[in-house]
Structure 1
Amino acid sequence: MKFGKVHSDDEPNLDLVPLIDVILCLIIFFVVTTTFDSRAVLRLQLPKADGVAAPDMAKPLTLLVSQDGRFFFEDREVLKRDLDTLKQTINDVAGTDRSRTVLLRADGRAPHQSVVTAYEALGQLGFTKVMIATAPPVPEADEKAGKR
């Protein structure tokens, strides 16, 4: 009897190239199909007002106040609703540039105290150019047709 090395040509082999191709295709698919629209995060019902739209300017910083009084500054949610946390978040995102315009987008049904807190935080941090976003008034005929 001859005892020797046994050579097995049937060793399993894992090819990673097709797996990497599939993962890259999935990543590309999800990146292409994802929308990056910050306005889609919250559905705000802006208060109505007559007036002229502001002239085009550099992109302002955006502070959102939701219907239930939560704050969102740019793409960050303020976890607490107190003044100090809001000021800290604004300071972290905006940095030291206080000359930029801030657009306050408050829901028409938001608590008045939340809007006042937002103004107070911006004022204490030194922002002097604050605009409030409004929606144009809806004619009565269109408003009644929309409720049906």
Structure 2
Amino acid sequence: MNFQRGKKHEDLEMNLVPLIDVLLVIIIFLVVSATFSRVSELQINLPTAEANPQQEKPLIITVDIDASGHYSVNSTALSDPNVASIGEALRRAVPDGKDPTIVINADGNSTHQSVVNVMEAARQENFTHITFATQIKSGS
């Protein structure tokens, strides 16, 4: 029974525009994700490190300063506590052509001036490597 007389039936068509839109979005997604997967696969050649053996031990000169201001260079006590005699003792403790490291062991109650005297004597003798000995507090 055809109740709609006079009306023509239109042929049904499938609309392909939304299907094409969805497929283009999927293709773009696949291309972008494929690009990122290539970036995450970097080939890295890590460098290798080799330590050179230490040629020789550095020359260390120890200068001790007690609380009363008495100096000793490499356990040899100095009779005159002025900058010139400290410099002379440092020069005698160094073999020719060596660049020593001077370690200052100063008592906690020694004066700042006594430490400055050792530093000035080292400067006058052109010794540039100076360090200070410290100790860790016990019970802390």
Q: Which has the larger radius of gyration?
A: 2
The CA deviation at 1:95 is 3.8
Q: Root-mean-square deviation (CA), in Å?
A: 1.7
Spell out structure 1 runs of 4+ moving beyond 2 A. Answer: 95-98, 137-140
CA contact (8 A) 2:61 2:93 kept: no
Map residues 40-55 of structure 1 onto 2, 5 A cutoff.
none
Provide the residue aligned with 2:72 in structure 1: 72
Provide the residue aligned with 1:110 in structure 2: 110
Query: Identity percentage over the alignment?
Result: 21
TM-score (norm 1): 0.51
Considering Cα pairs closer than 8 Å and 6+ residues apart, tell me whether 1 or 2 has the greater RCO: 1
Counterparts of 1:61 and 1:87 in 2: how far apart (Å)? 12
Count of equivalent residues? 84
Amino acid at match of 1:118: V
Provide the residue aligned with 1:86 in structure 2: 86
Residue 114 of structure 2 corresponds to residue 122 of structure 1 = no
Counterparts of 1:98 and 1:119 in 2: how far apart (Å)? 18
* Cα gap change, 1:98 to 1:119, in 2 (>3 Å): farther
Which stretches in structure 1 are left out of the alignment for 5+ residues?
1-56, 141-148
The CA deviation at 1:113 is 0.8
The CA deviation at 1:137 is 2.8
Which stretches in structure 2 are left out of the alignment for 5+ residues?
1-56
The CA deviation at 1:93 is 1.9
TM-score (norm 2): 0.54
